[in-house]
Amino acid sequence: MQSEISKLAPPTMKIKIIAPPERQYSVWIGGSILASLSTFQTMWISKQE
């Protein structure tokens, strides 16, 4: 990620990437939060549907 952003930024700009180590689970965490919302539960589709 650092090299990709460095290519886009001016050469004089210092780039520092800060990313939490648990970012690999971000999708699962977000999905579990979304699934637990009562407003989202009304949008679920069952096998029968």
pLDDT, averaged across the chain: 88
Q: Give the model confidence (pLDDT) of 18-39 as tens digits.
A: 888 888 899 999 999 998 998 9
Q: Cα torsion for 18, 23, 27, 28, to the nearest 10°?
A: -150
Say yes or no to pLDDT of 9 above 90: yes
User: In 3-state terms, the chain is what percent helix, strand and coil (to 5)?
Assistant: 55, 0, 45
Contact yes or no for 23/39 (Cβ under 8 A): no
